[in-house]
Amino acid sequence: MSGMNTLLPSAAVLASDLELDSDTVTPGVLGFLVVFAIGVGLYFLMRSLMGKLRALPKDDDFTAGADASARGSSAAEASSEDASAEDTTPRT
């Protein structure tokens, strides 16, 4: 148990004696692993995004659906104009 109590102060003493040259300090293996992990995560994120984009309907399907909904909405607009006139009357 007493060995654990002296570990932290001895590490602080060793660290204070160690002088680092700013020209030779590099990120090392840990820096490489972090950048590599971010790259791998980005690869799988982009792969997932492309799969979701491929699942979206093509332009032809979208324009056909938009035309059909526009034809259906013109009848709905006529009935909504009547409803909007009723909505503007004050309620008592």
Q: Is 91 within a domain? A: no
Q: Is 4 within a domain? A: no
Average pLDDT over residues 23-47: 92
Q: What is the pTM (predicted TM-score) of this model?
A: 0.41
The per-residue pLDDT for 90 is: 63
In the chain, % of residues over pLDDT 70: 60
Q: Is 72 within a domain? A: no
Give, in order, the Cα–Cα distances in Å from 36 to each of 39, 46, 65, 84. 5, 15, 44, 59
How many separate domains does the chain show? 1
Q: What range defines the domain where residue 46 resides?
A: 29-65
**Contact assessment for residue 68 and residue 76, using Cβ atoms and an 8 Å cutoff:** no
Q: Is 40 within a domain? A: yes
Nearest in space to 63 (alpha carbons), one of 54, 71, 75, 55: 71
